[in-house]
Structure 1
Amino acid sequence: MTTHALVSIAVLLVVCAAPGALAQTVQVWSLCSPVNYTAGSAYGASLRGVLRDVVAAAGRSRDGYATVFRSQQVKDGAPYGLALCYADAGPPEVCRLCLRMAAGNVTLACPRAASASMLYNNCLVRYADPAADGRKLARPEPDTVQRFSFYNGNMTSAGEADRYGAALNRLMDRLAPAAAEAGANGQPRPLAAFGQTNITADESLYGFAQCVAGLSPADCRLCLQRIAASLPMTKGGRAYSLTCYTRFEVVPFYMPPNTARIVVAPAPAPAPSSPSRGELN
């Protein structure tokens, strides 16, 4: 899609603070596999250890991301684990709180499930049997299904919806490839980007997009574009899948410091066409 307005994209380098986020950490969705492990088995004991280790590692990480994928786990039958904080969640204590809550509640929501996912508004925790679903965590494929979304329903007119929709499409056309390219250097970190575009001369739309590490740039882009397309045209919203997340607002909810910025200038207005000879008087 052609860009007609100012778009500013920032590739994520660090996490910044968001006041009040501690009070906003809530569970939004979970998924339990139909396959169960035996109560009191070694798998259950290993699961508790994996969840503890992956949450602790993600809490210490600068990026709020960690995995527990070891070849020995396949031999031992121990689960794989993944923990991810969404970078717009706020300061590190929000990340750590969210991960602890998710890891504790996933075993309550999915008792004895061999694989499960627990999604909070600020973080994601997953574990999986390495002999089956674990491969999807170690080498993820894009999950393009919107697992959860919420949004601001404050839209006043069809014309306003059209303006916001055009701005959101314009923004996501740039955010998705920018987030995907953030992982092009092969670093095992979440892929994310922040951007801004003008809606009118006096209004802006701000957006954020993030993928789990391990997705290829093409898969990251596909995931983000699919879930962004599921969002309604309102003044703010979020959409989540198991491999990506996006958010947009009319206020600068997340302004990452120390970023490499990509600025796209407005497209020039088309030059007026000259009248044909037959139109001259």
Structure 2
Amino acid sequence: MASLGLYHLLFFLILQLSTGDDPIGQYCDNKSFKNNNLHVSINAVLADDLTAKASIGGFATTSSGHGDTLLYGLAQCRGDLSAEHCSACITNASKALPSLCPIQADERVWYDYCFMRYDTSNLVGDSDTSYALILYNVENATDPEEFDKEVGLLMSEVRAMAVKQENGGFGKGTSEFTPLVTIYGLAQCTRHLRPLTCAQCLSSAVEEYFAEYCTHRKGCRVLYI
């Protein structure tokens, strides 16, 4: 995938990547925007600004409105995504949010390679681990105990990469479990997070969800936003 919370962290463990125009998850809080017409207008401004900025640098924050109508926005692409594919993913996200969360003031959408969120709270600063999207492969690995050990070692490595400031909150790696099975691991925080906050957010994903949802699984993702 980091925080936005303010906001996000992205943590993934993946064996297989897929592409597509459809979101892999969304979240619409019960907070509603009182003036729907104004909400639509502000969302459009956020979408245009985030798409333009994130398409260039892979990450962007912005805001629009005043007082009770002030909304903050954040968007980020996966750290190894090209500018062209990042732009396409962010564009899809900006188009999807209005229909997914038409009246909500806290709107979030995840794609395989990017995510976007609008909220009345400032999304820059601390991590937000209040909601997690968890996706996992229903199939278990062969030799599951050894597999989990290898996954643990790999994820420790990519987490260490992600918390280094020079890596922009992004880490990925591979491990050859057998001659026929390669494990892919990835960890990502939103770029505005300090290294310590990034590390705490990633640790939260592992400690709170890994044992329950990811043990023995051939693939698993835990995403905050």
How high is the TM-score relative to the length of structure 2?
0.77
Matching residue of 1:211: 189
The one-letter amino acid of 1:85's match is C
Matching residue of 2:36: 39
Q: Does 1:139 align with 2:122?
A: no
Matching residue of 1:277: none
Q: Tell me if structure 1 keeps the 8 A contact 2:46–2:63.
A: no
Q: How does 1:2-13 map to 2 (within 5 A)?
A: none
Q: Does 1:180 align with 2:163?
A: yes
* Deviation at residue 119 of structure 1 after TM alignment: 1.2
Matching residue of 1:153: 139
* Deviation at residue 200 of structure 1 after TM alignment: 4.9
Q: Give ranges in structure 2 of 5+ residues lacking alignment.
A: 1-16
Identity of aligned residues (%): 23
Matching residue of 2:88: 97
Q: How does 1:1-281 map to 2 (within 5 A)?
A: 23-37=19-33, 38-41=35-38, 43-61=39-57, 64-69=58-63, 75=67, 77-88=69-80, 90-129=81-120, 134-135=121-122, 137-143=123-129, 145-151=131-137, 153=139, 155-156=141-142, 160-181=143-164, 183=165, 190-200=168-178, 204-228=182-206, 229=210, 230-242=213-225
Aligned mates of 1:234, 1:115 — CA distance in 2: 31
The one-letter amino acid of 1:126's match is R
Q: Which digits, 9 at most, give the CA deviation of each residue in 1:231-271, with x for residues without a partner?
A: 232333333221xxxxxxxxxxxxxxxxxxxxxxxxxxxxx
Q: Tell me if structure 2 keeps the 8 A contact 1:86–1:123.
A: yes
Matching residue of 2:14: none
Matching residue of 2:11: none
User: CA distance change for structure 1 residues 151 and 222 in 2, over 3 Å: closer, same or farther?
Assistant: farther
Aligned mates of 2:192, 2:73 — CA distance in 1: 14
The one-letter amino acid of 1:109's match is L
| Matched pairs, number | 203
Aligned mates of 2:68, 2:53 — CA distance in 1: 21
* Deviation at residue 142 of structure 1 after TM alignment: 4.1
User: CA distance change for structure 1 residues 108 and 162 in 2, over 3 Å: closer, same or farther?
Assistant: same
Question: Between Structure 1 and Structure 2, whose CA radius of gyration is higher?
Answer: 1
Q: Tell me if structure 1 keeps the 8 A contact 2:127–2:198.
A: no
Q: Tell me if structure 2 keeps the 8 A contact 1:151–1:238.
A: no
Structure 1 residues 229-238 or 160-169, which shifts more?
Answer: 229-238
* Deviation at residue 204 of structure 1 after TM alignment: 4.4
The DSSP-based 3-state class of the residue aligned with 1:147 is strand
* Deviation at residue 111 of structure 1 after TM alignment: 0.8
Q: Tell me if structure 2 keeps the 8 A contact 1:69–1:81.
A: yes
The DSSP-based 3-state class of the residue aligned with 1:227 is helix
Q: Tell me if structure 2 keeps the 8 A contact 1:84–1:123.
A: yes
Q: Tell me if structure 1 keeps the 8 A contact 2:63–2:70.
A: no
Aligned mates of 2:37, 2:179 — CA distance in 1: 63
The one-letter amino acid of 2:177's match is I
Q: Give ranges in structure 1 of 5+ residues lacking alignment.
A: 1-19, 243-281
Matching residue of 1:12: none
Aligned mates of 1:75, 1:145 — CA distance in 2: 26
How high is the TM-score relative to the length of structure 1?
0.63
Aligned mates of 1:162, 1:205 — CA distance in 2: 14
Q: Which digits, 9 at most, give the CA deviation of each residue in 1:200-257, with x for residues without a partner?
A: 5775433111111222323322322333424232333333221xxxxxxxxxxxxxxx
* Deviation at residue 175 of structure 1 after TM alignment: 1.9
Structure 1 residues 139-148 or 160-169, which shifts more?
Answer: 139-148
Q: Tell me if structure 1 keeps the 8 A contact 2:89–2:113.
A: yes
